[in-house]
Amino acid sequence: MQRILNYIDGEQRPAVGGGEIEVFEPAVGSAYALAPDSDERDLDAAIVAAQRAFPAWSRKSAEQRSEHLLAIAAAIEARLEEFARAESIDTGKPISLARSMDIPRSVRNFRFFATAVLHERSDAHVTDHAALNYTLRRPRGVAGLISPWNLPLYLLSWKIAPALAVGNTAVAKPSEITPMTAHLLADVCRKAGLPPGVLNIVHGLGPKVGAPIASDPRIGTISFTGGTATGRLIAQAAAPHFKKLALEMGGKNATIVFADADFEQAVTESVRAAFANQGQVCLCGSRVLVHESIFDRFVDAFAQRTAALRMGDPLDDATQQGALSSRAHLEKVRGYVALAREEGGRIICGDAPPALPERCRGGWFHPPTVLTGLGPDCRVNQEEIFGPVVTILPFGDDAEAVARANATVYGLSASIWTNDLNRAQRVSEQLDVGTVWVNCWLLRDLRVPFGGMKRSGLGREGGDEALRFFTEPKNVCIRRAD
Ligand code: NAD
């Protein structure tokens, strides 16, 4: 069994109480590592270390902090294969995806914020002839960073990099389901000479480590990515302390295919948008809305492409669909397919049990599943499944497409497929989401604001928004006395 450790005050150590949590390999269905089952004592040590490190770290020049983050990026890149393998074992995702997306993008997150901070500007306002106002942006202190299991290193680095770049110190809590890459990151930080206490990583369960991060008054800033129900608990716990919050939560994203779209491209990309990482990306398009004039042809092509996705051992380079993150999650996904049947849905593809190699017979796999015949208001079309289950629905005109896309409590993202530029602009404006992709999906530019509307999110991360989120603006007004 591999042993995962906390990273507190520059040291890797077990939980004070000595308890451990089993960490599973989803492709196999058995435990392969043990992670610390931390509690408030470990969290307290992490917060004290972060508070102690804050004055010196925040007084460093942006260039010095940048160099530390660039060193971390280079060290992850040098160990890319090790990280990709660890991520694939930990999450069940195909290693090709971890190698091409998760780990390189984590490296990019560190590089992006390490260099962005060198280009920060502050505002100055001359008030007629009477005064000069200028805005100071100061780091806010100890940041609490809580992340989920689907893109563990990517989402953690997306928070750690901007928080540290502008001079905060941090206490990070990775998901207890996928702690391995955060453990490797701690090793990288220690070897790269990051000063003790600047980043602390406390492993453990949500209620025992995450909840006290949300309620501890010494942590004034919280960046959370995870489910909407957890986000609500965090907001409740943080409210009495008036903490600054960024909440990135669930989604029920629409892929809208208009009749004038490039058909082949729309099919290929909407299948990718539906099933990337087994549908376990918050931005996955799980409701595909298709113009009625091309509906039948589209469903056929979509089902054919889906059936051809290669499911198998995530460690096999050729695998396109891996395992789901946990047994509980597999049960949840199966429950939604059963519910779809009850709600009158038709399973177009995904009914057959997957053929798997011997090693993976006990793993948590679910075939990519395509459903039609479900109304827009049924639970399967309203609730976040976060797995390889997609529904396809027809629409008659643009207004109906927009109404259907907007008709959930979520508002994270959408992708639209059309060759009509006017339609693309008009529809994009009408969608209640934080990101609209036109003729693409998951094309990311780290400079743009990222986040959700409605129950998908509060606040924005990414680019300048993240650097601003982790700083506190202070206006200085100097009166001019002539
Ligand atoms: P989750 O909410 O169960 O857990 C997320 C993190 O919160 C974990 O580290 C968990 O231990 C912690 N946590 C649990 N209870 C807590 C509590 N009471 N207080 C504080 N922290 C607590 O989410 P998950 O199942 O790990 O991830 C899946 C969800 O994440 C999906 O809903 C998905 O849409 C969402 N997600 C959103 C984005 C985005 O950018 N909007 C990105 C990825 C995933």
In the chain the first and final C-alpha atoms are separated, in Å, by: 74
Q: Kindly report the number of other CB atoms within 10 A of residue 306's CB atom.
A: 22
| Cα distances (angstroms) measured from residue 382 to each of 385, 400, 403, 407, 475 | 9, 16, 13, 8, 45
Domain map (residue ranges) of the chain: 2-249+456-477, 254-447
In 396-458 the beta strands, taken as DSSP E runs, fall at: 410-411, 413-417, 435-438, 453-454, 457-458
Sheet holding 124-127, edge to edge: 124-127, 131-139, 471-479
Each residue's pLDDT, cut to its tens digit, for the chain (482 residues) gives 899 999 999 999 999 999 999 999 999 999 999 999 999 999 999 999 999 999 999 999 999 999 999 999 999 999 999 999 999 999 999 999 999 999 999 999 999 999 999 999 889 999 999 999 999 999 999 999 999 999 999 999 999 999 999 999 999 999 999 999 999 999 999 999 999 999 999 999 999 999 999 999 999 999 999 999 999 999 999 999 999 999 999 999 999 999 999 999 999 999 999 999 999 999 999 999 999 999 999 999 999 999 999 999 999 999 999 999 999 999 999 999 999 999 999 999 998 888 899 999 999 999 999 999 999 999 999 999 999 999 999 999 999 999 999 999 999 999 999 999 999 999 999 999 999 999 999 999 999 999 999 999 999 998 899 999 999 999 999 999 88
Return the DSSP state at 194: P
Choosing from 282, 284, 349, 360, the catalytic residue is 282
> What amino acid is encoded at 429 in this protein?
E
Taking CA 140 as the corner, what is the angle to CA 454 and CA 59, rounded to the nearest 5 degrees? Answer: 145
Asked whether 38 and 203 are in contact (CB, 8 A), the reply is yes
| DSSP string over 241-277 | GT-EEEEE----EEEEE-TTS-HHHHHHHHHHHHHGG
Rounded CA-CA distance 217/144 in Å is 11
For domain 2-249+456-477, the CATH architecture is 3-Layer(aba) Sandwich (3.40)
Catalytic, out of 248, 269, 384, 461: 248
Helix (H, G, I), strand (E, B) or coil at 70: helix
For residue 477, indicate whether it is catalytic. no
284 assigned to active site: no
Q: Which of 155, 181, 20, 21 is nearest to 91 (CA)?
A: 181
Transcribe 291-342 into DSSP letters: EGGGHHHHHHHHHHHHHTS-B--TTSTT-SB---S-HHHHHHHHHHHHHHHH
Atom of ligand 1 nearest to the CA of 204: 11
Query: C-alpha angle 98/468/145, rounded to 5°?
Result: 45
| pLDDT value, residue 273 | 98
CA of 148 to the centre of ligand 1 (A): 4
Q: Are 201 and 15 in contact (CB under 8 A)?
A: no
CA-to-CA distance for 113 and 158, rounded, in angstroms?
A: 9
- The residue whose CA is least distant from atom 9 of ligand 1 is 175
pLDDT of residue 482: 83
For residue 55, which phi and psi values (nearest 5 degrees)? Answer: -60, -45
Euclidean distance between CA atoms 276 and 437, whole angstroms: 16
Residue 266 near residue 273 (C-beta atoms within 8 A) = no
pLDDT of 352 reads 85
Report yes or no: 163 and 186 within 8 Å, Cβ to Cβ: no
| Model pLDDT, residue 187 | 98
Residue 410 Cβ < 6 Å to ligand 1: no
For atom 37 of ligand 1, the residue with the nearest CA is 249
Distance from residue 281's CA to the centre of ligand 1 (Å): 12
* Confidence (pLDDT) at 314: 98
CA 175 to ligand 1 centroid distance, Å? 8
Task: Report whether residue 83 contacts ligand 1, using a CB cutoff of 6 Å.
Answer: no
**Residue entry with tokens 């990309």:** 269
Strand 2-3: give its sheet, edge to edge.
2-3, 30-36, 20-25
What contacts 100, CB < 8 A, 6 or more positions away? Answer: none
CATH classification for the domain delimited by 254-447, as one of 3.40.309.10, 3.40.190.10, 1.20.1440.230, 3.30.390.50? 3.40.309.10
Residue 5 alpha carbon to ligand 1 centre in Å: 21
- CA-closest residue to ligand 1 atom 19: 211
Residue nearest to atom 21 of ligand 1 (CA): 210
Q: Give the distance, in angstroms, between the CA of residue 413 and the centroid of all CA atoms in the same chain.
A: 13
0.85 exceeded by pTM: yes
Contact 14, 6 (CB under 8 A): yes
155 Cα to the center of ligand 1, angstroms: 11
Pairwise CA distance, residues 7 & 197, whole Å: 9
DSSP 450: B
Report the interhelical angle of 80-91 vs 152-165 (nearest 10°): 120
Residue among 280, 282, 386 whose CB has most ligand 1 atoms within 8 A, to mutate: 282
Cβ–Cβ under 8 Å, residues 178 and 91: yes
Give the atom of ligand 1 at the shortest distance from the alpha carbon of 329: 25
CB 416 within 8 A of CB 422: no
Q: Which atom of ligand 1 is nearest to the CA of 457?
A: 41
The pLDDT, as a whole number, for residue 334 is: 97
CA of 176 to the centre of ligand 1 (A): 10
Protein residue with its CA nearest to atom 43 in ligand 1: 282
To test the pocket of ligand 1, the residue of 147, 155, 230 to mutate (highest count of ligand atoms within 8 Å of its CB) is: 230
For residue 127, what are its two tokens?
Answer: 């008030």
Between strands 221-225 and 142-146, the pairing is parallel
